[in-house]
Structure 1
Amino acid sequence: MSSPQMVGREGDLERLCGLLDAVNDGVPRAAVLGGEAGIGKTRLLSEFAASVPSEALVLRGQSVDLGTVAAPYAPIKDVLRNLVAAVGDSAVTDAAGPGRSALVALLPELSQGETDSGSAAQLHEAVAVVLEHVAQERPVVVIVEDLHWIDAASLNLLRFLVRALRSGRLLLLMSYRSDDVTRGHPVRGFLTELDRGRIVERWELTRLTKAQVRRQVKAILGEFPTADVLARMAERSEGVPFFVEELLGLDGCDTDDGLPDTLRDLLLARYERLEPSTQAVLRLLAAGGVRVPHVIFERVHAGGADDLDTAIREAVFASVLVIDDDDYAFRHALVREAIHAELLPGERTRFHAGYAEALEQTAGRRRVAAEVSYHWMAAHDPEKALPATIDAMFEARGAFAYATAGQMGERALELWDRVAEPEQVAEMPKIELLGRTSSHLRNAGENERAIALIDLALAESSPDQPLQYARALRDKAFYLANVGRPGSIELLEQAGELVPPGSPGDLRATILTALSGRLMLEARLDEAIAMAANAHAEASAIGSRRYLSISSNIAGVCLAHAGDVDGGLARLEEARVFADGDGISSLRYWVNASDLHYLLGRYDSAVALAEDGLARARELGVERISGVILAANAVDPYLALGEWARADELIARGLSLDPPFAFKVYLQRARMWRLLWGGDVATAAEQLRALQPTVAALVEVEMQTRLGIALVAAEIAIAQGDLARAWDEASVLFRPVHRAIPGYDLPLLWVAARVTASIRRERALAAAQTCTKANSHATSATRSSVDLDEADRDIRTALDGATSWPTAPFWIALVEAELGGASADGTDADLWRRAILAVRDSSAPVHLLPYAQLRMGEAAIVVGHRDAAHEALAAAAHDADAAGITLIGDAARAVAKRARLGVAAPEPLGADDPETASAEPLTPREQQVLELVARGLSNREIGSELFISGKTASVHVSAILRKLGASTRTEAVFLAGATTR
Structure 2
Amino acid sequence: MLGPVQTRSVSPVFVGRTEELNSLNEALSRAAAGEPQALLLGGEAGVGKTRLVEEFATAACRQGAVVALGGCVEIGADGLPFAPFSTALRALRRALPAEFAAAASGQEEELARLLPEMGEGLPARRTGRHDEESLARLFELTARLLERVAAERTVVVALEDLHWADASTRHLLAYLFRTLRTGRLVVLATYRADDIHRRHPLRPLLAELDRLRTVRRIELGRFTRDEVSRQIAGILATEPNPGQVDDIFERSDGNAFFVEELAVCATEGCAGLTDSLRDLLLVRVEGLPESTQRVARVVAEGGSTVEYRLLAAVSGLAEDDLIEALRAAVNANILSPAPDGDGYRFRHSLVREAVADDLLPGERSRLNRRYAEALEADPTLVPADERVMRLASYWYHAHDPSKALPAVLDASVTARRRHAYAEQLRLLERAMELWDTAPEDVRAALRPVDFTEVYPPCGCDPATAPLRYLDLMAEAAVAGRLGGERERALKITKRALHLLEDDGDPLRAAWFWVQRSHLVQGLARGDGWTELATAEELVRGLPPSEVHAEVLSNFANWSMVHCPGPEAVTAAERAVEYARMVGAREIEMNACLTNAGLAVESGDVEAGLAEMFEILRQTLDDGLSTVASRVYVNLPNALEAIGRSREAIPILEEGLAYARKFRLSDKEAWIWGNLAESLYSLGRWDQAADAAVRAERVGRSARPRGFHAANRAVLALARGELSEAARHLTAARGYFGSHDRAPQHDLPLSDLAIGVAAGEGRLLDARAALERVLDTGFPPGTQRYAWPLLLTAATMEADSLGLPVAEQNRAKILDRIREAARPLATNAPVWLAHERWLRAELLRAESADTPDHWSEAVTAFEPLERPYDLARVRHRLAQALLSAPGGAEQPDRDRATELLRLAHAAADHLGARPLADAVTLLAQRARLSLTAAQSPEPDDPVRSLGLTGRERDVLRLVALGRTNRQIAEELFISPKTASVHVSNILAKLAVSGRGEAAAVAHRLGLFPQRALHAPVTE
Same fold by TM-score greater than 0.5: yes
Q: CA separation in 1, counterparts of 2:848 and 2:161?
A: 65
SS at match of 1:843: coil
- Aligned with residue 882 of structure 1, among 895, 899, 909: 909
Corresponding residue number in structure 2 for 1:343? 359
2:404 maps to: 385
**Structure 1 residue 289 displacement after superposition:** 2.0
Secondary structure of the residue that 1:706 maps to in structure 2? helix
In structure 2, what is the equivalent of residue 436 of structure 1?
475
Aligned to 1:967: none
Q: 1:558 to 1:56 in 2, by over 3 A?
A: same
Code of the residue aligned with 2:911 in structure 1: it is G
Moved more, 582-591 or 622-631: 622-631
Once the 2 structures are TM-superposed, how far is the Cα of residue 432 of structure 1 from its aligned partner?
Answer: 1.0
- 2:124 matched to 1:101? no
> 2:164 pairs with 129, 140, 149, which one?
149
Distance 1:409 1:213 in 2: 48
CA 1:257–1:652: 2 relative to 1, 3 Å: farther
Q: Residues 306 and 460 of structure 1: is their aligned pair in 2 closer, same or farther, counting only changes over 3 Å?
A: same
Please tell me whether residue 616 in structure 1 is matched to residue 658 in structure 2.
yes
Output one character per residue of 1:267-302: Cα deviation in whole Å (capped at 9) or x when no partner.
223323322322221122111122222232222112
- Of 571, 596, 602, the match for 2:644: 602
Superposition pairs of residues 290-689 of structure 1, within 5 angstroms: 290-324=304-338, 325-363=341-379, 365-421=384-440, 423-424=443-444, 427=447, 428-461=467-500, 462=502, 464-483=504-523, 484-497=527-540, 499-501=542-544, 503=545, 506-543=546-583, 545-579=585-619, 580-582=621-623, 583-619=625-661, 621-622=662-663, 624=665, 626-689=667-730
Is the alpha carbon distance of 1:898 and 1:489 closer, same or farther for their aligned partners in structure 2, counting shifts above 3 Å?
farther
Q: 1:671 to 1:291 in 2, by over 3 A?
A: farther
C-alpha change, 1:38 and 1:754, in structure 2 (3 Å) is farther
Query: Take 2:289 and 2:632, find their aligned partners in 1: how far apart are those partners?
Result: 70
What amino acid maps onto 1:716 in structure 2? Answer: V
Whether the aligned pair in 2 keeps the contact of 1:69 and 1:408 (CA below 8 Å) is no
Within the candidate set 248, 271, 290, 2:263 is matched to: 248
In the other structure, the counterpart of 1:175 is: 190
Alpha-carbon distance change, 817 to 183 in structure 1, aligned in 2, over 3 angstroms: farther
Residues 221 and 654 of structure 1: CA distance in aligned 2, closer, same or farther (over 3 Å): farther
**Distance (Å, rounded) in 1 between the aligned partners of 2:199 and 2:732:** 24
Mark the CA change 1:500 to 1:123 in structure 2 (over 3 Å): closer, same or farther. same
Spell out, residue by residue over 1:345-365, the C-alpha distance to the aligned partner (whole angstroms, 9 max, x if none). 221111122223334444454
Q: Please give the secondary structure, in 2, of the residue aligned with 1:494.
A: helix
Give, in whole Å, the separation in 1 of the partners of 2:272 and 2:919.
Answer: 85
Equivalent in the alignment of 2:226: 211
What is the match of residue 946 of structure 1? none
- The Cα shift of 1:787 comes to 6.4
Structure 1 unmatched ranges of 5 or more: 768-780, 905-981
1:538 Cα deviation from its structure 2 partner: 2.8
| SS of corresponding position for 1:58 | strand
Aligned to 1:807, the other structure's residue is in SS state helix
Shift of 1:383: 3.1
With 332-341 and 109-118 compared, the bigger mean Cα shift is at 109-118
Distance 1:216 1:884 in 2: 66
SS where residue 820 of structure 1 aligns?
Answer: helix
Q: 1:23 aligns with which of 28, 31, 46?
A: 31
**Corresponding residue number in structure 2 for 1:114:** 123
Q: State the partner residue of 2:951.
A: none
Equivalences for residues 49-60 of structure 1 within 5 A: 49-53=57-61, 55-60=64-69
TM-score, reference length from structure 1 = 0.82
CA shift for structure 1 position 593: 0.6
Count, aligned residues:
878
Q: What letter corresponds to residue 406 of structure 1 in structure 2? A: L
Note if contact 1:163-1:656 (Cα within 8 Å) is conserved in structure 2. Answer: no
Contact 1:27 1:168 in 2 (8 A): yes
Q: CA deviation at 1:418?
A: 2.9
How far off is 1:801 after superposition?
2.0
Identity of aligned residues (%): 34
Distance in structure 2 (CA, Å) of the matches to 1:37 and 1:710: 54
Task: Provide the rounded CA distance (Å) in 1 between the counterparts of 2:393 and 2:655.
Answer: 43
Mapped contact 2:506–2:539 kept (Cα < 8 A)? no
Summarize deviations over 1:921-961 as a string: whole Å, max 9, x none.
xxxxxxxxxxxxxxxxxxxxxxxxxxxxxxxxxxxxxxxxx
For residues 383 and 96 of structure 1, the distance between their equivalents in structure 2, rounded to whole angstroms, comes to 41
What code does the residue aligned with 1:207 have? R
One-letter amino acid matched to 2:511 = R
- Give 3-state SS (helix, strand or coil) of 2:345's partner: strand
CA offsets 1:192-246 (integer angstroms, 9 cap, x no match):
3323232322222233333333333333334444443333333333332222222
Render the CA deviation track for 1:286-333: whole Å, top value 9, x for unaligned. Answer: 111222222322221122222221121112112222112212121221
1:639·1:647 contact (CA, 8 Å) conserved in 2? yes
Amino acid at match of 2:792: V
1:887-916 deviation line (CA, Å, top 9, x unaligned): 655777899999999999xxxxxxxxxxxx
> 1:789 and 1:331, CA in 2 relative to 1: closer, same or farther beyond 3 A?
same
2:707–2:732 Cα contact (<8 Å) kept: no
Q: C-alpha separation between the residues in 1 aligned to 2:300 and 2:929?
A: 83
1:723 counterpart = 2:750: no
The equivalent of 1:962 in structure 2 is none
Amino acid in structure 2 at the alignment position of 1:491? T
The one-letter amino acid paired with 1:486 is W
1:749 has 2:790 as partner: yes
State the Cα deviation string for residues 407-449 of structure 1 (Å, max 9, x = none): 1112222222333437337551111111111111111122232
Residue 598 of structure 2 aligns with an amino acid whose one-letter code is C
**Kindly tell me: are residues 488 and 747 of structure 1, through their superposed partners in 2, closer, same or farther at Cα, counting changes over 3 Å?**
farther
Aligned mates of 2:914, 2:157 — CA distance in 1: 46
The 3-state SS of whatever aligns with 1:148 is helix
Q: Is the 8 A contact 1:850 1:877 kept in 2?
A: yes
CA distance in structure 2 between the aligned counterparts of 1:714 and 1:835, rounded to whole angstroms: 23
Say whether the 8 Å CA contact 1:101–1:117 is kept in structure 2.
Answer: no
- For structure 2, the residue ranges without an aligned partner over 5 or more in a row are 1-8, 128-133, 448-466, 932-1018
Residue pair 2:196, 2:202 contacting (<8 A) in 1 also: yes
The equivalent of 2:838 in structure 1 is 815
> Following TM superposition, by how much is the alpha carbon of 1:838 offset from its aligned partner in structure 2, in angstroms?
5.2
Select which of 8, 12, 25 maps to 2:16. 8
Tell me the secondary structure at the aligned position of residue 116 of structure 1.
coil
Q: What residue in structure 2 maps to residue 974 of structure 1?
A: none
Q: CA deviation at 1:595?
A: 1.0
The 1-side partners of 2:556 and 2:190 are apart by 48
Q: CA-atom RMSD, angstroms? A: 3.6
- Check whether the contact 1:289–1:336 (CA below 8 A) recurs between aligned residues: no
Change (3 A) 1:385 1:729: farther
Q: Which amino acid aligns with 1:553?
A: L
Matches within 5 A, 1:180-259: 180-251=195-266
For normalisation by structure 2, the TM-score amounts to 0.79
**Distance between the aligned counterparts of 1:218 and 1:890, measured in 2?**
79
- Cα 1:10–1:275 change in 2 (3 A) is same
Letter in 2 for 1:104: A
Q: Determine the C-alpha separation between the residues in 2 that align with 1:881 and 1:245.
A: 73
1:179–1:657 CA distance, 2 compared to 1 (3 A)? farther
- Report if the CA contact (8 A) 2:668-2:695 is conserved: no
- Cα distance, 1:460 vs. partner? 1.7
Who is 1:72 aligned against?
A: 81
In 1, Cα distance between equivalents of 2:811 and 2:294: 88
Tell me which amino acid in the other structure corresponds to 2:573. A
What one-letter code is carried by the residue in structure 2 that aligns with 1:343?
Answer: L
Structure 1 letter corresponding to 2:865: S
Deviates more, 1:585-594 or 1:425-434: 425-434
| Structure 1 residue identity aligned to 2:537 | Q
